[in-house]
Amino acid sequence: MSEEEIGLLNDLKVIFSGALDKIPFELYIVGGWVRDKVLGIHSHDIDIMITGISIISLYHKLADYIKSQKPHSNAIQGYNFWLKNPEKCKSNDTLMLKMHNIEMQILNPRSVPSDSSIIGVEQLVEDAKGRDFTVNALFYEVKSGIVLDLTGKGLSDVSQRLLRTPLEPMVTFSHDPIRILRGVRFLAKFPDFRITEEIKDFMLNDTEKGVPNSLSFVSLHLLMIA
């Protein structure tokens, strides 16, 4: 991990611990950044997942914290945040955060309703299972520095350069067919990866399994480059 990333993580800890004092929360970096760190690749693709507090409540807590700090506080220099979709402020939203010239988005776990408070590990597992590929379902716990592999296959799939869906391909791709396109982009970026036989079988029969015809050509392309 670079000195820049270490500094960013330290400031995240300072700001969130200060803003959420007495609130039991956890911060996780999820997705591409974690995968790239395991691969030994530099990345600024940082998405953050927070548990224990809704996004709109987090927004107000951060605003109150910043007002209480001295302007010259090192941790908040160049620090900015805003709601991505303020018109939806009564429901789960995306909080955008800019620190160290890096723009990040913060969300609650995908499986958690907007009125949820503290969540359990089982809901983190559901979030991981609901992602596109196991290599993108790795969570870096900011507090401990531990990488959580809640599908049980993400780390080994990174090591084996294998692109696998957390659930059956039919379930994962039918939920969001655009994930097929993301698979194409992934293999174009990481040509040493290959897709599982289960994904290949699904792609050969995608029109029979709920994938729109408009994405069938993408499925074919995924098979060709894999």
Helix (H, G, I), strand (E, B) or coil at 107: strand
For the purposes of burial, counting CB atoms within 10 Å of the CB of 148, is it exposed (0-12), middle (13-18) or buried (19 or more)?
buried
Q: Structure pTM? A: 0.84
Delimit the domains of the chain by residue range.
3-149, 162-225
Query: For residue range 142-181, what is the model confidence (pLDDT) as tens digits?
Result: 999 999 999 999 999 999 999 999 999 989 988 888 888 8
Burial class (CB in 10 A: 0-12, 13-18, 19+), 162: middle
Segment 30-49, tens digit of pLDDT: 989 999 999 999 988 899 99
Does the pLDDT at position 114 exceed 50?
Answer: no
Q: What CATH homologous superfamily does 3-149 map to?
A: Beta Polymerase, domain 2 (3.30.460.10)
Residues 6+ apart with CB under 8 A from 52: 20, 23, 24, 25, 26, 117, 118, 119
Q: What are phi and psi of 81, to 5 degrees?
A: -150, 155
